[in-house]
Amino acid sequence: MMITEQMQGDIVLLSLNGRLDANTSASLESAFAKLVEQGKGKFVFDLQGLDYVSSAGLRSLLAAAKMIKVIQGKLALARMNEYVKDVFDMSGFSRIFSIYETEADAVHAIS
């Protein structure tokens, strides 16, 4: 999986591309934890390029959400493809996360 990071004001945009599974979830968790340690607290995960997400991938996203709650930050997900949306719906994760159709909507919601 490839993770691309951009800043938009005080919001970190993380684009996830490829597979989020047991082999790649640790890299997301590590990158996310490093950003939080640097004092970042607002995040948008752009999931348009995510081809696959496993239970381990869901667990890493849940860990990010828990970390955001601890630091009283904000996290939004954007641009899910149909496959990832189905996984989130079936697992109940759609009720846990704030999910937006566009990156701009997600950024606006957590600004």
Write down the residue that tokens 């949306």 correspond to.
Answer: 85
Give backbone dihedrals phi and psi of 44, rounded to 5 degrees, phi first: -120, 125
State in words which class domain 2-110 has: alpha beta
**pLDDT for res 1:** 92
What does pTM read for this prediction? 0.94
Smallest CA-to-CA distance from 101 within 58, 33, 50, 47 is with: 47
**Low-confidence residues of the chain: pLDDT under 50:** none
Q: Distance (Å, rounded) from C-alpha 15 to C-alpha 31?
A: 12
- Pairing of β 2-8 and β 11-20: antiparallel
What pLDDT, in 10s, does the model give residues 32-49? 999 999 999 999 999 999
Q: Where are the chain's structural domains?
A: 2-110
